[in-house]
Structure 1
Amino acid sequence: MPGQVRPVADEQDGLLAYLAQMRYVLRLTAFGLTPEQLRATPSASALSVAGLVKHCASTEEGWLATVRGEAQPIDYGAYERNFRMADDETLDQILSWYDRVAESTERTVREIGDLDHQVPIDHSVPWNPKDEDFWSLRWVLLHLIQETARHTGHADVIRETVDGATAYPLMAAAEGWPATDWLKPWTPAR
């Protein structure tokens, strides 16, 4: 996937394309890391690259379940578990899950086909507005783009702290771009 979102056909296509781009850039923060580096928490927070990917997958999955009107059991330990890569998990497992979530999101949005589709607002949490009853599907997609982009920024900082890699050199390495005078693809430290 290129560094820029492709031209879009319409609003729905644009929202899905920008969400896909943010997912891709988040995935790139994990490119080439060892399991130990994926779990590393080198900042003042407990965030890791793998944990952020898991969190974004979980968040998107939860929002789309809400869009589809599916009941979601309350799991008070899920929030913390979804911010860290378990000892028995692999990056491939996490990315495969994220791929399934992305496919489900795109299928759901295309099936609904109406960005004004009403999504009930959960009034049990303090951060949601109490004077509104519904989000729109458009709002949910914009929120997911915002959430994924915010956490991609966190992952960028963590990745750079772990091994010095930054977004475009990682993209160049992942996509096989040729080296230029101004951009060298990332290579693992020896």
Structure 2
Amino acid sequence: MTTSPENPTSLPSLEGERGELLHALAEQRELLLITVRGISDAQAVQRTTVSELTLGGILKHLTRAEQVWTQIIAKGDGELPEGMLDMEQYRMVDGETLAGLLEQYAAAARTTEDTLAGLPDPGRIVPLPRTPWSPPETVYWSVRRILLHLIRETAQHAGHADIIRETLDGASTTAQR
């Protein structure tokens, strides 16, 4: 599979558990990308439901999520990555384009895959950064659990994106495959 701005995910060639987890994440990314296929920048920022979510905002948020979680894995220091709590990650702002967001998503996907390919053990434990919703004690997750979280979050938002797209112009992921 070739990586491009339209298809920023490559199905990882890693074997074993890491390969399976990265493959599952890549599949969810592909489903998300179907929802933005053929839309304009104006459509990418258009709200179609009572939710504030837009296709561009979802894409931008998932890009930031991969960047943040990859940093948490790579650094392993429990520090809060810059921009993790920034609410601008949920919406396209003036000057941003769908093409630009797709390029950033592709770069984030490659960084995630490269970071995970270099780790010897998905069971490695990493301290999570403190957030306003964190318990008072330090919480630790395995790299495996972080990957499962990314898969879940990407799948959840791909579902949101499918509803937004279907409301926008009648297209659905199933019909566009």
TM-score, structure 1 as length reference? 0.79
> Distance in 1 between the 2:120 and 2:72 partners?
16
Q: Give 1:113's match in structure 2, choosing from 107, 113, 120.
A: 120
Q: State the one-letter code of the partner of 2:72.
A: T
RMSD: 2.3
Is the 8 Å Cα contact of residues 72 and 128 (structure 2) preserved in structure 1?
A: no
> Distance in 1 between the 2:93 and 2:83 partners?
20
In the TM superposition, residue 73 of structure 1 has moved relative to its aligned partner by 3.0
> Distance in 1 between the 2:30 and 2:41 partners?
19
Q: Give 1:55's match in structure 2, choosing from 29, 54, 61.
A: 61
Q: State the one-letter code of the partner of 2:146.
A: V
Kindly report which structure 2 residues correspond to 1:124-135, keeping only aligned pairs within 5 A, or say none.
124-126=131-133, 128=134, 133-135=139-141
Q: Render the CA deviation track for 1:52-102: whole Å, top value 9, x for unaligned.
A: 0110010111011111117523575x22x1111122111111011111111
Is the 8 Å Cα contact of residues 64 and 84 (structure 2) preserved in structure 1?
A: no
Q: Between Structure 1 and Structure 2, how many residues are aligned?
A: 165
Q: Percent identity?
A: 35
Distance 1:6 1:56, change over 3 A: closer
- Alignment of 1:14 with 2:20, yes or no, is yes
**Structure 2 partner of 1:97:** 104
- Alignment of 1:152 with 2:158, yes or no, is yes
Q: Give 2:47's match in structure 1, choosing from 36, 41, 51.
A: 41
> Distance in 2 between the 1:6 and 1:135 partners?
23
Structure 1: gaps (5+ residues):
172-190
Is the 8 Å Cα contact of residues 126 and 140 (structure 2) preserved in structure 1?
A: yes
Q: State the one-letter code of the partner of 2:144.
A: R
Is the 8 Å Cα contact of residues 125 and 142 (structure 2) preserved in structure 1?
A: yes
Structure 2: gaps (5+ residues):
2-10
Aligned-partner SS, 2:36: coil
Is the 8 Å Cα contact of residues 28 and 155 (structure 2) preserved in structure 1?
A: yes
In the TM superposition, residue 169 of structure 1 has moved relative to its aligned partner by 2.1
Aligned-partner SS, 2:53: coil
**Structure 2 partner of 1:86:** 93
